[in-house]
Amino acid sequence: MAAERDPMTFDGVDWDRWEGGRGVGSVQLLEALAGLVLLGALCFDYVLVAPGEPTIAVGGAGGPGAEAAVVWDVSSVEWLFAGVLLLGLFHIAVPLAENRRMTAYYWRQFRKNGLAVVSLGYLGLLFLVGVVGPIIWVAPNETIDYASAYAPPLGLGGGLSSPEHALGTDAQGRHIWHLIVYGIRVSFEVGLIATALAISIGTVVGAVAAYVGGYVDEILMRYVDLQQTFPVFILLLLIIYLYGASLLLIILLYGVFGWEGIARLVRSEALQRSEQAYTRAAEAAGASRRWIVRRHIIPNVSSTVITAATLSIPVFILGEATLSFLGFGDPSTFSWGRTISAGRADLDSAWWISTIPGVFLFLTVLAFNFVGDALRDATDPRSES
Amino acid sequence: MGVDPLLRVENLVTAFETDTGRIRAVDGVSFEIEPGETVCLVGESGSGKTVTSESITRLIATPPGEITAGTIWFDGRELTELAEAELRALRGDRIAHVFQNPQETLNPVYPVGRQIAETLRIHDSGGSRPINDQVIDLLDRVGIPEPTDRVDDYPHQLSGGMKQRVVIAMALAGQPDLLIADEPTTALDVTIQAQILRLLEELQEELGMAILFVTHDLGVVAEIADRVIVLYAGKVMERAAVHELFEKPAHPYTRALLACLPGRGGETAPIGGEIPPPADPPEGCRFHPRCPHAIGACRDGDQPPLGDVESGGTDHRASCVFYQSGYETDRLETPMGERTEPTGPEGER
């Protein structure tokens, strides 16, 4: 048989070229490069930039102490956010762009739900404003001006309102619009980072439990039961009470304690996939368990995962808003929940302080739910109601 | 190639733990496969043929399944003693599998080329040539037209026959010495079936690999086998070269199976009775409750050992008391007198 092997005996694998032929290799390279740049920037921020100094100061004279036109001290949450966005870009946007036929199909299915399309547009716009807005508009605290406090939204308050603060001002004269814009970023950071965390843990746990089975399944799923029955919110309050409220901590806690539903969903789906012939074929081809979970089980439950992700984003956003409303939020952020809470006392005289962020919160949560429902219908026709 | 067979299975017992008790799905099966030959495992549903084939590389789900006894020698190594990682290195590389249903064997989320490349990648059997080229080579080899265009196709874009060709290409990627094909043509229609069988024969000639072919279809057996092993209720009933089996079936079960085949002259006769319950197989010969020739000796003890059907060193053996010394095989002819000498050109290859 040795002679027969001849045409196929080669020296090393050239997988990159194989993938490169499909244009995947270059994308992977780009992703690695982007990740490295981000990591480099992170190191730069933490090692070279003195604490308290802004990371980026463009325009003006620049340098420490000087007045700059654009000042951005990137926080740890924002670094994490950038990382998650990068992941989303390379693992959702790029595959969609590469596989146009499938994208077109999903879009046709998705388009059937008009509300979801509007919601997607709204979320896209919100996201853009949330990311770009804080660069354009100054932080709310810089607009503190007690002279223009309690100015009603434009067109409602007669002489007090002005185009400068179209959505009115709060008790300290801060522009509601600025609070909203900065709140968008907080909400998206919470929603996306916590979801990315929860999805990663939940998917891996669910898929491993389903495929490996036996006592591994038993241990993992009993832990999931435990986490599900455990009052996580109380734990959150306790930890925040003990260690102080920082947005990063809140996000991490939500992410790390919010994946049990996803794990169950993924497990039930992955159980079916584990029985499929292609899983057995991969076993027969000598693939390891890790390989099968990663390359066969998880890709085949991805529609479930994407839907679950979209539907868990609003849950986390609401969770953070709730904490902030109760006064357990990060005092250095301008969360919608905090603004709503601050306006509570003035609800009689200045309803807009609480109401406007409330409407934004409501619409955002609703929009994510609409998009999630439409995604589920688009990716899995069985669940169409 | 040496004197030793490529694969030697001895007294294999594979049991499954179930709610109704321990089921010995394979109960003391022995056979050999020489390099380059095609051996067919034949039997009804539940005869243990698939479990036998999957026990070789330990693909059976554990738990509930477990190889409780026996040895499996493959190319000088005892497979039942290998660690999982060592077996994994063997699977897909030296021993490849082709499964029954090509629609389900291919992962719907990947293009077919990528799935073939997977085996190359798992076993690092790539090389200086780009894997993409090797994949196209493999697709070409299994007779897929325009392989350069087909690599990027998803499974749902291919027909059933094409998919099975892709599955075979996946199996060939590791250049196996032994290909285990578990009913690879059952899910296909007859014309495609014939094409796939011919393809397997061509590939075998070209690559010199041995094939263990699992099927319930005696027509397929006649077409592809060199040697045949007939299984019933987890036991080997008869083993013979293919033309021997079709011309001179020895075991009453084999005769009954052949009598079920249409187009052999005479009436087709279904086998009376049912396969015995796997949790509680009968004493003695497993086939005796359905056997028209059963005598008292058939009902006691164990399955009779495989006895020579003819003296003279041919490897034609049957597990029937009538082939033990002291019995007259003529007894077997009487109740089934009309069909004593089945005439079967099917036996020729």
pLDDT of residue B144 exceeding 90: no
Give Cα B4 distance to the centre of its chain. Answer: 20
pLDDT at A72: 67
On whether any CB of chain A is under 8 Å from the CB of B80, the answer is no
pLDDT at A15: 37
Instruction: Give me the sign of the Cα torsion angle A264, A266, A269, A274.
Output: negative
Compute the average pLDDT of residues B178-196.
Answer: 85
pLDDT at A62: 42
CA atoms of B148 and B127, how far apart (whole Å): 19
CA atoms of B18 and B279, how far apart (whole Å): 9
pLDDT tens digit string along A306-324? 888 998 999 999 999 998 9
Produce one character per residue of A192-224: b if its CB has 16 or more CB atoms within 10 Å, e if not. bbbbbbbbebbbbbbbbbbbeeeeebeebbeeb
pLDDT of residue B1 exceeding 60: no
At B111, give phi and psi (nearest 5°).
-65, 150
pLDDT of residue B125 exceeding 90: no
Q: A257-261, B269-273, B310-314 — which is least confidently predicted?
A: B310-314
- Residue partners of B348: CB distance under 8 A and separation at least 6: B243
- Residue partners of A139: CB distance under 8 A and separation at least 6: A178, A182, A334
pLDDT of residue B32 exceeding 80: yes
pLDDT at A5: 35
Which ranges in chain A belong to alpha helices (H)?
Answer: 2-5, 15-20, 24-43, 76-88, 94-98, 100-111, 114-136, 176-212, 214-229, 232-243, 247-256, 260-275, 277-284, 289-292, 298-300, 302-325, 336-343, 352-379
Question: Is B69:B12 a contact under the CB 8 Å cutoff?
Answer: yes
On whether any CB of chain A is under 8 Å from the CB of B88, the answer is yes
Q: What is the mean pLDDT of chain A?
A: 81
pLDDT at A12: 35
At A200, give phi and psi (nearest 5°).
-60, -50
Q: With an 8 Å Cβ cutoff, are B128 and A14 in contact?
A: yes
pLDDT tens digit string along A35-58? 888 888 888 877 777 666 666 665
CA atoms of B29 and A139, how far apart (whole Å): 79
DSSP class of A152: P
Percent of chain B with pLDDT over 90: 4
Task: Return the residue of A nearest to B112 by Cα.
Answer: A278
pLDDT at A20: 39
- The model's confidence at residue A82, banded by pLDDT at 50, 70 and 90, is confident
CA distance, residue B147 to nearest chain A CA (Å): 15
pLDDT at B126: 53
pLDDT of residue A380 exceeding 60: yes
- The model's confidence at residue A230, banded by pLDDT at 50, 70 and 90, is confident
On whether any CB of chain A is under 8 Å from the CB of B177, the answer is yes
- pTM here is 0.78
Of the two residues A243 and A14, the one the predictor is more confident about is A243
pLDDT tens digit string along B46-105? 888 888 888 888 888 777 888 888 888 888 888 888 888 888 888 888 888 888 888 888
CA atoms of B298 and B289, how far apart (whole Å): 9
Q: With an 8 Å Cβ cutoff, are B121 and A276 in contact?
A: no
pLDDT tens digit string along A178-200? 889 999 989 999 999 999 999 99
pLDDT at B69: 85
Question: Is A260:A202 a contact under the CB 8 Å cutoff?
Answer: yes
Compute the average pLDDT of residues A114-130.
Answer: 93
Residues of A in contact with B99 (CB under 8 A): 277, 280-281, 284
pLDDT at A206: 93
Rg of chain B over all Cα atoms, to the nearest angstrom: 21
> Dihedral (C-alpha) B151, B152, B154, B155: value to the nearest 10 degrees?
0
pLDDT at B220: 86
Compute the average pLDDT of residues B184-189.
Answer: 82
DSSP class of A153: P
Q: For chain A, which residues lie within 8 Å of any Cβ of chain B, measuring from their own Cβ?
A: 1, 4-5, 7-15, 17-18, 21-22, 214, 276-278, 280-288, 291, 295-296, 299-300, 302
CA distance, residue A121 to nearest chain B CA (Å): 29
ipTM of the complex in this document: 0.77
CA distance readout (Å), B147 to A25, A221, B102, B113: 22, 45, 18, 9
pLDDT at A224: 93
Percent of chain A with pLDDT over 90: 23
CA distance, residue A298 to nearest chain B CA (Å): 11
- Residue with tokens 């547009």, as numbered in its chain: A121
- Residue partners of B106: CB distance under 8 A and separation at least 6: A278, A281, B112, B115, B155, B163, B166, B167
Structure token digits, residue B180: 């285990």
pLDDT tens digit string along A272-310? 888 888 888 888 888 888 888 988 888 888 888 888 899
pLDDT at A8: 35
pLDDT of residue B226 exceeding 80: yes
Q: With an 8 Å Cβ cutoff, are A287 and B206 in contact?
A: no
pLDDT tens digit string along A317-345? 999 999 899 888 888 888 899 889 888 88
Mutate one of B132, B134, B186, B212 to test the A interface: name it (highest A CB count within 10 A): B132
CA atoms of B268 and B173, how far apart (whole Å): 42
CA distance, residue A73 to nearest chain B CA (Å): 43
Task: Kindly report the number of other CB atoms within 10 A of residue A139's CB atom.
Answer: 14
DSSP class of B282: P
Instruction: Give me the sign of the Cα torsion angle B153, B159, B160, B165.
Output: negative
pLDDT at B18: 83
pLDDT tens digit string along B109-120? 888 888 888 888
